[in-house]
Amino acid sequence: MHGGVSDHEDLLARRRGRIDLTFRRAPDGGTFLGRQYASYPFHICRPHRYVGDPSGMATLYLQSVAGGLFESDRLEVRIAAEPGSALHVTSQASTVVHSMTRDHAEHAVTIKAGEGALVEYLPDATILFPQARLASRIQVQAHETASVICADAFLAHDPSGSSAMFDRLDSDMTVAGPTGQVLVRDKFRITGDLLKRNLPGLNGPWIAQATVMVIHRGPSLEALLENIRAELEPLPDIFAGASRLPGEVGVWTRILACDGHALRTAVLAVWACAREQMTAKRPGVAANRSEGHADRPRQVPSPARGYAGAAASGCRRRRENVAESRSSSRSGR
């Protein structure tokens, strides 16, 4: 018995990984990576700068050499933005959470934004494979004058095509003030068995979900809210809502989508709207990411089109099935 416990603790020790990043503002106004630590499976390259971004903003891509999250993984991302810095952190691709038999995986992100800092944390959607078990946690601690945009998105995918679902997802997003006082908390658990039932009033035909929090105080909050709603209104294949956060600390958006592509489009729309509102600069789109091309704007984070496409073909059919089920229920009364 004791040997089993020891073996499990040894496994957890081997599966732990951490990346710790501190961004600082240089005298010329540019943001640079002042401190970094990365253990397996994390990897980063130097930050990039893109024409059209807010002045001095650094863009960093978080990479993994592991091929996703596996059973018993315990991964931690720590991002600190010192006063006046501006940074955009995203992922190289979507993160796959692989099938599991006994344990679960954990992925924790801590963001600290100092006075006047601007932080954008927008990784691609997490892809949950059959029997995946994930605990996802994002904790934001922001100064009253800091602005933070962070997103947490997921979708389910079965590479075998048999429509098997993930086991469970535990999501926890927290926003705290500079002293650590919790201002906002959004927490939920969802199981694959519940999601695939397409229950009206729960998720209906929508199988992908994202939460976007925009932490930004000021008189422009009402305009930010209305602009986000206007951005989302014409988008197809989504069901979304936006509202103010408690204490007037920002805006919260929940997005349900029929596939990964529709989800990504909606998340990027919220991001673009929020950045434009806060900095008067709207993100551009281009096929070239080279830093040296001053006439070419940045490209937005890439989607997981291979996985999203598998879900897209069944989206309309699921909506029709839900509508037919509702009609049958009413006629049977």
326 pLDDT more than 50: no
pLDDT 10s digits, 243-289: 999 999 999 999 999 999 999 999 999 999 999 999 999 997 533 33
Distance linking the first and last C-alpha atoms of the chain: 57
| Predicted pLDDT of residue 30 | 97
pLDDT score at 299:
45
- pLDDT greater than 70 at residue 318: no
Asked if residues 152 and 87 have their Cβ atoms less than 8 Å apart, the reply is no
pLDDT value of position 202: 78
8 Å CB contact between 167 and 135? no
Q: In which residue are the tokens 């469970």 written?
A: 168
Q: Give me the mean pLDDT over the 146-156 stretch.
A: 97
Average pLDDT over residues 54-76: 96
- Band of residue 6 on the pLDDT scale cut at 50, 70, 90: low
Q: pLDDT for 90-144, tens place per residue? A: 998 999 999 999 999 999 999 999 999 999 999 999 999 999 999 999 999 999 9
The reported pLDDT for the residue numbered 214 is 98
Task: Tell me the pLDDT band of 3, cut-offs 50, 70 and 90.
Answer: low
CB atoms within 10 A of CB 285: 10
pLDDT tens, residue by residue, 24-54: 999 999 999 999 999 999 999 999 999 999 9
Give the pLDDT confidence score for residue 10 in this predicted structure: 58
List the one residue out of 174, 238, 256, 245 whose CA is nearest residue 214.
245
Question: Cα–Cα distance between 113 and 146 in angstroms, integer?
Answer: 6
The DSSP line for 29-48 is: S-EEEEEEEE-TTEE----B
Q: According to the model, what pLDDT value does residue 8 have? A: 56
CA distance 226 to 40: 42
User: What's the pLDDT at 223?
Assistant: 95
CA–CA dist 157, 165 (Å, integer):
7
Give the pTM: 0.84
Contact (CB, 8 A) for 231 and 264: no
| Residue 304 pLDDT > 60 | no
Give alpha helix (H) positions in 233-313: 260-279, 305-312
Residue owning tokens 């927490």? 187
Contact 14, 71 (CB under 8 A): no
pLDDT tens, position by position, 163-219: 899 999 999 999 999 999 999 999 999 999 999 888 887 788 888 999 999 999 988
- Average pLDDT in the 54-70 region? 96
